[in-house]
């Protein structure tokens, strides 16, 4: 297997991350005979997100905490950007490694601003620089600084706490970010939103992120690389999500993925990646007569009426339009929609939960971009399966 993309992307000016190398790292906790982590060797590429996924108790947290030396290895070495982490002083470790954990781990007696300021303060930044950084971080994770900086953690929702946890981990602009099930404690919808947020941040920041999860779908969605770990953190497979899904190393990995590998690849593609349907559209101000004409000339049975801002408002049926007094009412509200950034998995979930065969697609401003249907998703699944079969011949990625 070759990796044509890796060196060029790592050479990007935008990459702020650094490589982390674990070499034969072992941890035996006092009083135990079996190692919690047994001779693990892994090279985590700079500027990429590597996900550790594996069953409870397999040593994910222990492995991660040895990177920032919250746990000292019994043997083996860990280098960060080529330097042995035992030679880095505590300040350097805090500067270089951000840490976010499940349930956010915020200090309850400190405000949001004080929480985010923790590491900059330890590093003795000037007050003004800290205050600016706090606001910058809150904005980055999608929270309004004026509204949130003086609140206490108990005055935040679970998802907001997680966002502050990520803001705190990023505050000193560390090249490395360790995230231990950071979104484990929130509901599935908030979780999906936080995952999207992390992907967006990482597109800009290019940190070296180590992300621990139990959830293989989450691993596939956010990982550039996935390390599937077994007992003692033994590395069962370390590869891209696509390769693991299409070529699981053994039965254990295959079992972990489940038997819907092609389905899971739906989390790898977004709605914007597929050809969207082009249902005819009309503005509310247009005459029903003109729209009826366009609909007759189209193979589509339904058209979409857009409001003045170009946002989809209602579905109307071609054979009913002519008799409508105007396009400002009537028809059926579009109900749910997906965005071009939604994964195909989310689009499928949306279609299945609304029980309609087609849904409208909007861009980030809410403007109409097209439609997507169950049939489009089924076609895409067929292509994915076909592609995986083709990849066996060694033809390489398209």
Ligand X SMILES: Nc1ncnc2c1ncn2[C@@H]1O[C@H](COP(=O)(O)OP(=O)(O)OP(=O)(O)O)[C@@H](O)[C@H]1O
Q: How far apart are CA 141 and CA 163, in angstroms?
A: 6
Considering the rule CB under 5 A, would residue 61 count as an interface residue with Mg ion? yes
Q: Which stretch binds Mg ion (CB under 5 A): 57-65, 115-123, 148-156, 186-194?
A: 57-65
Question: What is the smallest separation between the CB atom of 378 and ligand X, expressed in angstroms?
Answer: 35
Question: What is the smallest separation between the CB atom of 60 and Mg ion, expressed in angstroms?
Answer: 5
β-bridge partners, 208: 176
Considering the rule CB under 6 A, would residue 62 count as an interface residue with ligand X? yes
Question: What is the smallest separation between the CB atom of 225 and ligand X, expressed in angstroms?
Answer: 18
Residues 229 and 42: beta-carbon distance below 8 Å: no
The helix/strand/coil state of 106 is: coil
Q: How far is CA 262 from CA 73, 217, 273, 284, 375, in A?
A: 38, 12, 16, 41, 16
Considering the rule CB under 6 A, would residue 59 count as an interface residue with ligand X? yes
Q: Burial code of 52-63, b = ≥16 C-beta within 10 A, e = fewer?
A: bbbeeebbbbbb
Question: What is the smallest separation between the CB atom of 250 and ligand X, expressed in angstroms?
Answer: 19
Query: Pattern of binders to ligand X over 196-235, x per CB under 6 A?
Result: ------------------x---------------------
The 8 Å CB, 24+ separation contacts for 284-291 are: 284/308, 284/313, 284/326, 284/327, 284/328, 285/327, 286/327, 287/326, 287/327, 288/321, 288/322, 288/323, 288/324, 288/325, 288/326, 288/327, 289/322, 291/316, 291/321, 291/327
Retrieve residue 244's tokens.
């693991």
Question: What is the smallest separation between the CB atom of 60 and ligand X, expressed in angstroms?
Answer: 4
Q: Which stretch binds ligand X (CB under 6 A): 55-63, 167-175, 282-290, 343-351?
A: 55-63
Size of the site for ligand X (CB under 6 A): 11
Q: Which stretch binds Mg ion (CB under 5 A): 59-67, 92-100, 162-170, 375-383?
A: 59-67
Considering the rule CB under 6 A, would residue 292 count as an interface residue with ligand X? no
Considering the rule CB under 5 A, would residue 102 count as an interface residue with Mg ion? no
Q: How far apart are CA 71 and CA 69, in angstroms?
A: 5
φ/ψ of 392, rounded to 5, equals: -60, -30
Q: Which stretch binds ligand X (CB under 6 A): 28-36, 103-111, 289-297, 375-383?
A: 28-36
Considering the rule CB under 5 A, would residue 246 count as an interface residue with Mg ion? no
Q: How far apart are CA 49 and CA 70, in angstroms?
A: 21
Q: Which does 58 bind (CB under 5 to 8 A by kind): ligand X, Mg ion, none?
A: ligand X
Considering the rule CB under 5 A, would residue 371 count as an interface residue with Mg ion? no
Rule CB under 6 A: which residues touch ligand X? 29, 32, 36, 56-62, 214
Rule CB under 5 A: which residues touch Mg ion? 61
């Amino acid at each position: 297997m070759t990796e044509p993309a890796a060196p060029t992307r790592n050479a990007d000016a935008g990459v702020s991350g650094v490589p982390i190398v674990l070499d034969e790292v072992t941890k035996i906790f006092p009083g135990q005979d079996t190692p919690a982590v047994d001779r693990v060797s892994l090279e985590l590429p700079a500027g990429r997100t590597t996900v550790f996924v594996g069953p409870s108790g397999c040593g994910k947290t222990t492995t991660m905490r040895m990177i920032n030396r919250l746990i000292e290895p019994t043997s083996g070495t860990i280098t960060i950007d080529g330097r042995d982490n035992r030679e880095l002083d505590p300040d350097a470790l805090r500067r270089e490694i951000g840490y976010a954990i499940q349930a956010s781990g915020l200090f309850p007696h400190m405000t949001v601003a004080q929480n985010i300021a923790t590491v900059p303060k330890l590093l003795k930044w000037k007050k003004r620089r800290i205050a600016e950084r706090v606001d910058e971080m809150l904005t980055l994770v999608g929270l309004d600084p004026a509204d949130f900086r003086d609140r206490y953690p108990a005055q935040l929702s679970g998802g907001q706490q997680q966002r502050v946890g990520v803001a705190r981990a990023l505050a000193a602009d560390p090249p490395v970010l360790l995230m231990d099930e950071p979104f484990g404690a929130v509901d599935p919808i908030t979780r999906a939103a936080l995952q999207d947020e992390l992907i967006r941040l990482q597109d800009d920041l290019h940190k070296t992120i180590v992300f621990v999860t139990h959830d293989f779908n989450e691993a596939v969605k956010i990982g550039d690389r996935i390390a599937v770990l077994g007992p003692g953190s033994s590395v069962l497979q370390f590869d891209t999500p696509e390769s693991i899904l299409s070529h699981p190393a053994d039965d254990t990995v295959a079992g972990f993925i489940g038997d819907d590998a092609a389905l899971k690849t739906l989390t790898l593609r977004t709605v914007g990646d597929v050809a969207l349907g082009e249902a005819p559209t009309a503005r509310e101000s247009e005459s029903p007569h003109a729209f009826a004409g366009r609909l007759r000339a189209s193979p589509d049975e339904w058209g979409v009426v857009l409001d003045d801002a170009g946002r989809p408002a209602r579905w109307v049926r071609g054979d009913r339009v002519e008799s409508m007094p105007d396009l400002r009412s009537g028809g059926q509200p579009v109900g749910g929609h997906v965005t071009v950034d939604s994964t195909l998995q989310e689009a499928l979930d949306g279609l299945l939960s609304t029980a309609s065969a087609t849904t409208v697609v909007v861009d980030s401003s809410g403007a109409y971009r097209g439609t997507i249907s169950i049939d489009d998703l089924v076609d895409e699944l067929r292509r994915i399966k076909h592609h995986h079969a083709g990849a066996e011949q060694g033809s390489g990625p398209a």
